[in-house]
Structure 1
Amino acid sequence: MLSEIDPFIGTAATSLPAAQGLAATWWWPKPQVGNTHPGATSPFGMVSACAYSGAYPTGYGLYTKNTEGVPEEMFDRVQASGFTHFQQSGTGAIRKYYNYVRVTPMVQSLDALGHAWALHDETAEAGYYAATLDSGIRSEITVGEKVAVHRYTFPQHRSGRVVVDLSSGGLAIDHGRTVPLRAYVENIGGGCAQGTVVVEGVPLSVYIEVDSPGWRSMLWHDRRLIEGGTRLDFDRIRQTTLRPFGLLFMGSAQAGQTVEVRIGFSLRGCEQAKANLRRECGGTGGSGRAFETIRAATTERWRWHLDRVQVEGGSPARRQVFSTALYHSLIKPCFADDESPFWPTPGPFAFDVCTMWDIYKTQIPLLAAICPDRAVDLLESLVRVCEEEGNFPIGYRMARGADRFFRQASALAHTALADAHALGLGDLDWNWALVHMEDDLRRMYGEDFFEHGVVHPISHTLDLAYAYWCTADVARALNDGPLADDLDARSRLWSNAFDASTGLLKDSEFYEGGKWNYSFRLLHDMRGRIELAGGDDAFVAMLDSFFGYGAPPVKQPGKRPPAAEMAAGYLLNRFEGLNNEPDMEAPWSYHYAGRPDRTAEIVHSALTWQFGTGPGGLPGNDDSGGLSSWYVWASLGLFPVAGQNLFLVNAPAFAHARVQIGDAEFVVETSGHRETPISSDGLERIPPPQYVQSARLNGRPLEEAHLRGTDLHAGGRLHLELGPEPSEWGRKIRPPSLSDPLGTGTLP
């Protein structure tokens, strides 16, 4: 699987074959670009590194900022002014774009710093990125968990240079630049240096070793060398006073000579940065090449993580898309264990959670399955943030401040915590976690919900009612019955968000999308929600309209789509085809109305037409791995109902799959499976979907189209018999709901 990954998938504007059938009726208003990058990463590692052009939003690539349609290009070529560290993955406008510590190999004078050179012969794999600059310098980067190692191969030149710019940060777009507030940099000698820059309220420290025998090292400021200087201090930097500064290593280069740059990072000072470098790279400083050692160690980390999920069959294109989706699912969140600059104690510190709105439905359940220790570390980190800052964040970044994406959603950590408790993951102090879960329900929009039972934006009413239900579940399991009963009563206020006359959410503002997108979320009381819509048939009819059954194909927005075109598109009230987070769970709403066959058709269309090979192979932003995690689950024929200890079952894309969960193994196997291509295979017709005819779990008949999360995590074997026509399987017993716990399909 490691060899099948293509880190370039999602780095360019969406470029997929024109969709056919059902998928052709979906309309994608959000940016049609994956916003991923091909840089070197380690699974959940603190550091990433990639070529830097200044483009939105990762710092890599061609595109300027956009919020709808096809992105416009900032540059007419793939280029770089150097190689930076800390990149987002698949996000949109998050306002913190990192790209700190730019390293630039040059044969030009220092005055050329900031010039962008065309990139040639780019290659990338898990943990490794390489490209050749116009100057002829071959540039390679690998990363460990808290280190980056660069290797530059120079052409013959009398004056080779490696320039480290500690003042860089952010993007080359309006309001995208990050300027340090304070900084210091010190030339220690012997090819070693260290420094700290305070960016976005966070002290980022580096310890640098450059293996370039015979080269001189100097400080520079405002593109001028400081002869004999050993230290620069900046007590206060402003946008108007910033002049770039950093280090330079210079000397003559023979053809084919390599220079290795090793950088240790820390959020707790230069000594810890140095210790991180020593721990991963070994040695005592100043000598000893580490590039291949770090690359090999990171490759093995990737292999271990990726081998947790194994699939058999599938076309080469489908396997490449699946493998890359799994890879993208494991890049974020970023962990900097024992590195929190905001509290002194050791422990897990997840500093790049962008955002829970993107990842809580699909990615966190995937981590809980294949990397349960890391899932628990994430939750422990969020509990600590709540202790220190007073609330569970919706998003958390390497920055100080209260900007935590609260407009996106409310109380999402409760969902992940409820799942972890039900699954028995980790050793969290659950009584202490429950205290924070309850307290957090009253913060931000929660206060209005507590007082009025409804809050606008109306989607927050659903968030909060669901969080009350999740918290009640934990309280009940901890034998706090009175608290559980009180929380349970408020969880039933979800219905206040809906208009009974339409069966849809009430008119309100929405964070991306509209009321149709948010109206088909998987609530804790789907039976009650279906009855509110008029029953199974009425609910299915609404879903059919939303998913475009019987509708003509639609045209997707292009570059700079006019307002009238966008307005007409929104009036379609149509599924956005995985281009928007609220739609990710909507296909599985059919399960609750006894129509898993419809789920099969929609998921099959999405897997066929909305994901492909090549840089343009994603339908929209990968959202820190949230979209890719959706692809992984959908391909396995499973979907996690986050917070409910529940998985929904569907026809898988592969004949056989194995998921390693701790020491247990869960197998999804099929009979009657038919291999189907995807759009990147160049298909000329729509391959029909397959439907589950019957199922057996650990040898026993499974009549329902769902199973408990604890069943999956315990390991076992799910056998699915597939066929070309819909069957009666899964129609009678529905997934459990608050008002229909036995799944009878009726209210008591």
Structure 2
Amino acid sequence: MYDAVDPFIGTEATRLPPASGLAATWWWPKPQIGNTHPGATHPFGMVSVCPYSGAYPTGYGRYDFNTEGVPPTVHDDLVASGFTHFQQSGTGAIRKYYNYFRVTPMVEPLDSLGRTYRLSEEEAAPGYWAGTLESGVRCELTVGPKSAVHRYTFPSHHEARLVVDASMGGLALPHSQTVPLRAHLALLGPGVAQGEILVEGVPLSVHLEVTSPGWRQLLWYDRRLMPGGTRLDFDYIRSTTLRSFGLMWRGPAAAGEVVEIRLGFSLRGCEQARANLAADSGGRAPAFGWRRSATTQVWRSHLDRVQVEPVSGEQQTVLATALYHSMVKPCFAPDESPAWPTDGPFVFDICTMWDIYRTQLPLLTALFPERAVELANALLSVCEQEGNLPIGYRMAKGADRFSRQGSALAHTLLADLCRLDLPGIDWEWAMVHMEADLRRSYGEDYLVSGVAHPVSHTLDLALGYSCTAVVARRLGDAELAGRLCGLAEGWRRAFDPSTGLLVDSSFYEGGRENYSFRLLHDMRARIELAGGDTAFVTLLDRFFGFGQPPVRQPGVGPSTEELAAGYALGRFEGLNNEPDVDAPWAYHWAGRPDRTSEVVQQVLVHQFGTGRGGLPGNDDSGGLSSWYVWASLGLFPVAGQDLVLLGAPAVPEARLRLGDGELLVTAGGLQPAEPGSPTNHVRSVSLDGHPLTRTWLTGTELRRASHLAVELGPRPSGWGTGHRPPSVSDPVPARPRSRPRPSPTPPWR
């Protein structure tokens, strides 16, 4: 899969062939761009490095701030003023844009620092980026888990420069810049320096080593050199008085002169940054070639967890890139917590749980269970130290402004890990924090009145109680589990039985319909509330646009009236937004997996493609890309419920390394999915040679299986119509010895 990855997919505005059929009825309100970047990354690594134009939202590219429609541009061409470290991946208005310690190779005076150069001859692969600045400098970037290595090949010049700007960060857009509060820089010896900036409440340290041909090294402040100086100390910096500052190496360059700069980073001081660089360099110098090769091998081993026989080369590229984007975030930085002194798991750029809990985290759990356990322990540490299980968590201090997106979403990851019985988590410790988190913020409204607004939080909290009951049962606390299960029934109060949809409320991006069809822990009762299978399928069909005319997508700067008319459709957003990414699988509980196949195939055909404009919307830390991976395999995880739903694969064959085992998925009778082609419907399924008439597996079954064989055909076959996925209110066979203990009545019932 490594060789098929194209890191440029998603870096420019959506450019897909015109939609036809069902997909033409979907309306996309959010930004029509992937917001990814092609810079060098390490699988789940702490550090990334990328060309910096100052554009929204990663610092790479040509675009201005945007929250809906086609993004406006701020640059006509691809440009860069240097190369910065730490970027988000596929997010929107995250408000933490990083881009620290800009490195700029120059053949102009220091006064020119900050000008942008046109980029040409760009190329990228996982862990590597290369391009040429219009100044003639060839630039190459690679990274380790906690380090970055740059290699610059200069043209002939009597005084070339390598400049590090430690004062800047964020984006070159209004209200998006970042200013350090304190900073310290020091020259330690020939080609060696270190520094620390306190930025957005976090101390970020760097250790630098430069292999230059005898160039002179200097500090600079306000674009003025400081000959003979070895330290710069700023104990307090105001944004109104900031003057740029940093380090520089300069000297004559022969044509083809190569200069490397290696940077180790840490959130715990310069000495640890030095140790991190040494660990990432493998004791070799110069380090670029070795570091690139080592990172390539790590990427290959990660991407090889999924191997497919594709229908076409284009499908191979899209799927490989989606898998790549699903492994960029979160950032695992063990022993790097800046907020508490103990060593152990630390993870940031969980941006955000609302984006990734349904698709990316289950993929992480399936392919890298040890990483999922590490993430879970990091989340529990955050809760212990800071008071809540976060919805969003970045390399910055400050209130979690994303709490309005959702509640108790980390509970789904913890419940799935608990059911899989993976080692490494203290479940008594987890239980304490899971239960306490349910009582904070919107959880207090839920307990007092039985409903929380935005009403989507009512659904989150009800699922959170159901997930927490899983842990309580593991610990043998039947009384607590019963009480939690009683509270988990509160989802009912979020719905209006007269419409089968959610009650009036405000909603975080999207509308009532987008949140009305999410996969709840009690889908059987939810469908009964809507009036039964037929009524529920009618609601779903209307939501997905069956029988409806095509719509027009928002353009650049859509008007309020245009957006209001679009939202009034109450329509599926075509995977351009998060709230309804699991809605196509709601048909399974109504006995219509054929409808799921129709919708999912339309998404796979129309909403993803090759090229820089190949994504329908923000990739959101790999949440969107992970959806594509799951759907291509004919699988979909139900977060927090230990379920993997089955559907029609889009590839003839796939091999998945799930923990220590391997699962082969085959799709007999698969016809290439193209615009206007018949839907591939499931005719039959067998698991390890045994017929399977139900439409789901448990997570444990998936991990233990060796061959999932799916036979497809062009018409619905009736497969799966008689066996619905489980719900918590399904009848339970009576136990001969004892009766279930009744759940205490919540105060609001």
The aligned residue for residue 208 of structure 2 is: 208
8 Å CA contact retained: 1:321, 1:612: yes
The aligned residue for residue 178 of structure 2 is: 178
Query: Cα deviations across residues 512-553 of structure 1 (Å, max 9, x unaligned)?
Result: 000100000000000111011110000000000000000011
The aligned residue for residue 724 of structure 1 is: 714
Query: Cα deviations across residues 584-609 of structure 1 (Å, max 9, x unaligned)?
Result: 10000000100000000000000000
8 Å CA contact retained: 1:736, 1:742: no
* Aligned-partner Cα distance in 1 for 2:227–2:514: 62
State yes or no: 1:463 paired with 2:460. yes
Q: Amino acid of the residue matched to residue 684 of structure 2?
A: S
Query: Cα deviations across residues 563-587 of structure 1 (Å, max 9, x unaligned)?
Result: 1111111111100000010111000
The aligned residue for residue 8 of structure 2 is: 8
* Aligned-partner Cα distance in 2 for 1:426–1:7: 34
SS at match of 1:102: strand
| Among 468, 486, 502, the residue aligned to 2:483 | 486
8 Å CA contact retained: 1:423, 1:713: no
* Aligned-partner Cα distance in 1 for 2:441–2:704: 38
Deviation at 1:283, TM superposition (A): 3.8
The aligned residue for residue 128 of structure 2 is: 128
8 Å CA contact retained: 1:694, 1:720: yes
Gaps of 5+ in 2: 734-749
The aligned residue for residue 535 of structure 1 is: 532
> 1:99-498 residue pairs with structure 2 within 5 A?
99-283=99-283, 288-498=285-495
Q: Amino acid of the residue matched to residue 226 of structure 1?
A: M
8 Å CA contact retained: 1:189, 1:217: no
* Aligned-partner Cα distance in 2 for 1:403–1:718: 42
Deviation at 1:403, TM superposition (A): 2.1
Deviation at 1:336, TM superposition (A): 1.0
* Aligned-partner Cα distance in 2 for 1:633–1:415: 18
| Among 738, 742, 745, the residue aligned to 2:728 | 738
Deviation at 1:335, TM superposition (A): 1.0
Q: What do you get for the CA RMSD once the two structures are aligned?
A: 1.0
The aligned residue for residue 681 of structure 1 is: none
* Aligned-partner Cα distance in 2 for 1:503–1:357: 24
* Aligned-partner Cα distance in 1 for 2:705–2:298: 23
Q: Amino acid of the residue matched to residue 35 of structure 2?
A: N
| Compared CA separation, residues 258 and 39, structure 1 to 2 (3 A) | same
Q: Percent identity?
A: 65
Q: Amino acid of the residue matched to residue 678 of structure 2?
A: P
Deviation at 1:326, TM superposition (A): 0.1
8 Å CA contact retained: 1:146, 1:276: yes
TM norm structure 1: 0.97
Query: Cα deviations across residues 160-208 of structure 1 (Å, max 9, x unaligned)?
Result: 0000011111001121111000010001121000010000110000000
Gaps of 5+ in 1: 678-684, 744-748
* Aligned-partner Cα distance in 1 for 2:371–2:175: 34
SS at match of 2:94: coil
Deviates more, 1:79-88 or 1:398-407: 398-407
Q: Amino acid of the residue matched to residue 718 of structure 1?
A: L
SS at match of 2:629: helix
The aligned residue for residue 679 of structure 2 is: 689
* Aligned-partner Cα distance in 2 for 1:27–1:71: 16
8 Å CA contact retained: 2:601, 2:673: no
8 Å CA contact retained: 1:670, 1:721: yes
- Point out 4+ residue stretches in structure 1 off by more than 4 angstroms: none
8 Å CA contact retained: 1:396, 1:404: no
8 Å CA contact retained: 2:41, 2:143: yes
* Aligned-partner Cα distance in 1 for 2:426–2:253: 57
SS at match of 1:220: strand
8 Å CA contact retained: 1:661, 1:715: no
Q: Amino acid of the residue matched to residue 609 of structure 2?
A: G
* Aligned-partner Cα distance in 2 for 1:321–1:279: 34
SS at match of 1:524: coil
* Aligned-partner Cα distance in 2 for 1:404–1:69: 23
* Aligned-partner Cα distance in 2 for 1:436–1:667: 38
The aligned residue for residue 671 of structure 1 is: 668
Query: Cα deviations across residues 205-235 of structure 1 (Å, max 9, x unaligned)?
Result: 0000000021000000011100100000000
SS at match of 1:599: helix
SS at match of 1:623: coil
The aligned residue for residue 707 of structure 1 is: 697
8 Å CA contact retained: 2:119, 2:134: yes
Q: Amino acid of the residue matched to residue 162 of structure 1?
A: L
8 Å CA contact retained: 2:35, 2:90: yes
* Aligned-partner Cα distance in 2 for 1:497–1:270: 51
Deviation at 1:373, TM superposition (A): 1.0
* Aligned-partner Cα distance in 2 for 1:493–1:204: 44
SS at match of 1:482: helix
Deviation at 1:348, TM superposition (A): 1.4
TM norm structure 2: 0.97
Deviation at 1:714, TM superposition (A): 1.8
Q: Amino acid of the residue matched to residue 238 of structure 2?
A: R
The aligned residue for residue 576 of structure 1 is: 573
The aligned residue for residue 497 of structure 2 is: 500
Query: Cα deviations across residues 648-684 of structure 1 (Å, max 9, x unaligned)?
Result: 000000011111011111121122122334xxxxxxx
The aligned residue for residue 744 of structure 2 is: none
Q: Amino acid of the residue matched to residue 658 of structure 1?
A: R
The aligned residue for residue 680 of structure 1 is: none
Query: Cα deviations across residues 226-257 of structure 1 (Å, max 9, x unaligned)?
Result: 01000000000111011111000000000001
SS at match of 1:553: coil
Deviation at 1:370, TM superposition (A): 0.7
8 Å CA contact retained: 1:13, 1:34: yes
| Among 642, 645, 648, the residue aligned to 1:651 | 648
